[in-house]
Amino acid sequence: MAEQKQIADEKKRKTSVSEFVNQVRAETAKIVWPTREETVRTAIFVFIFMVILSVFFLGIDSLFGIIVRTAIEFLQ
């Protein structure tokens, strides 16, 4: 029981501002930024995928619109 309290107290320990800044700098140094080519390639892929999905949902929406209009005309 005392061991769990000690672990809990260690987790609650506050970090100083300088220690926090050092931790942030250490984590920031680990970041691997994409190259310009990777960024452009990814942006083109997202744009193409967006166009494909837009056309797909336009088709689905149009199909459902036709079905609903046909059902309404049939019920009148």
* Structure confidence by residue, pLDDT tens digits, 16-71: 899 999 999 999 999 999 999 999 999 999 999 999 999 999 999 999 999 999 99
Are 26 and 18 spatial neighbours (Cβ–Cβ below 8 Å)? no
44: containing domain: 2-75
Q: How many Å separate Cα 1 from the centre of its chain?
A: 41
Confidence at residue 8, expressed as pLDDT on a 0 to 100 scale: 62
Rounded to whole angstroms, the Cα distance separating 76 from 69 reads: 11
What is the domain count for the chain? 1
